[in-house]
Amino acid sequence: MKFIYTGIHVANLERAIRFYTEQLGMKLLFKTQIKETGGSVAWLRSKGSSQILELNWYPKKYRHGGTKGLDHLAFQVKDVDATYSKITRKFKGTIKPFMEGRWILGYVKDPDGNWIELGQLQKKTRKR
Amino acid sequence: MKFIYTGIHVANLERAIRFYTEQLGMKLLFKTQIKETGGSVAWLRSKGSSQILELNWYPKKYRHGGTKGLDHLAFQVKDVDATYSKITRKFKGTIKPFMEGRWILGYVKDPDGNWIELGQLQKKTRKR
């Protein structure tokens, strides 16, 4: 299991990208729309670092945490179903594992209520 | 300038450390008290990853963002004073640069109001 990135909410994606690139020297790796929600995400990284910052912009109905602050901490895992089942024996699950492109994603909450994304990368698309 | 870690608020440090180590396999790197605030912080990392997760527990009077969610995103910079001055020409500063141990730290806000820590590591302690 590996902590791979931090996702934060932003109210204006372009404004936030400008801030993190122009003021803090990060590089924009990519920007994409999320088909399922109509939201947009951008990934940024500093030169010489593997720390990824994800900026998350959501349309109103998907704003589970407002327009600033932490959206989620993302962990890559080998088996989302197994990890999701294990964690939700003791902690809250929020979204059961589902497919999104080449990833299987599931969401749980940490003891303070922060969203944790569990992600499993599929080499080939599998049907669920 | 380098994005070095994500700090999140927690209401109970030990409970959060247990969650991230036992449920998500992270390793506790260190845990320490912050003399200036009476708060405590812990650093965790996943095996094979350089992404650092900082858990921040604060006594009541220092809880600028509650007991969950994002506390701050930390960037290591070469010159905090210069970076702080540059950013605060256009964006809000929250805490002017000050010494904390071997670090000079300053805080600014991104356009969404998220706290950004600017940190400069001093090889030798300098007087300010």
Are the Cβ atoms of A110 and B73 closer than 8 angstroms? no
Query: What does the DSSP 8-state code read for residue A113?
Result: S
Residues B6, B7, B9, B11, CA torsion sign: positive
B41-75 tens-digit pLDDT: 999 999 989 899 999 999 987 777 778 899 999 99
Decide: B26 and B20 in contact? Cβ < 8 Å.
yes
CA distances to A19, A115, A116, B108 from B89, in Å = 13, 34, 35, 11
User: For residues B83 and A125, what is the distance between their CA atoms, to the nearest angstrom?
Assistant: 45
Count the Cβ atoms, other than its own, within 10 Å of residue A19: 24
CA angle A57, A61, A62 (to 5 degrees): 50
- Selected for mutation to probe chain B from A17, A50, A108, A112 (highest B CB count within 10 Å) is A112
Element (H, E) at B115: strand B115-121
CA angle A81, A86, A87 (to 5 degrees): 100
| pLDDT-above-90 percentage for chain B | 79
Are the Cβ atoms of B1 and A69 closer than 8 angstroms? no
Its ipTM equals: 0.89
Please list the ranges in chain A whose pLDDT falls under 50: none
Is B20 at the interface with chain A, CB within 8 A?
yes
Give backbone dihedrals phi and psi of A87, rounded to 5 degrees, phi first.
Answer: -65, -40
The reported pTM is: 0.90
Mean of the per-residue pLDDT values for chain B? 92
Is B92 at the interface with chain A, CB within 8 A?
no
Is A63 at the interface with chain B, CB within 8 A?
no
Residue A56, both tokens = 């998350």
Residue B8: closest CA among chain A residues belongs to which residue?
A70
User: For residues B74 and B115, what is the distance between their CA atoms, to the nearest angstrom?
Assistant: 9
Contacts of A111 in chain B (CB under 8 A): 10, 12, 15-16, 19
Q: Are strands B39-45 and B52-57 parallel, antiparallel or unpaired?
A: antiparallel
Residue A8: closest CA among chain B residues belongs to which residue?
B70
* Chain A residues 72-91 within an 8 A CB cutoff of chain B: 73, 75, 86-87, 90-91
User: For residues B99 and B105, what is the distance between their CA atoms, to the nearest angstrom?
Assistant: 6
> Who contacts A12 (Cβ-Cβ below 8 Å, separation ≥6)?
A57, B111, B112
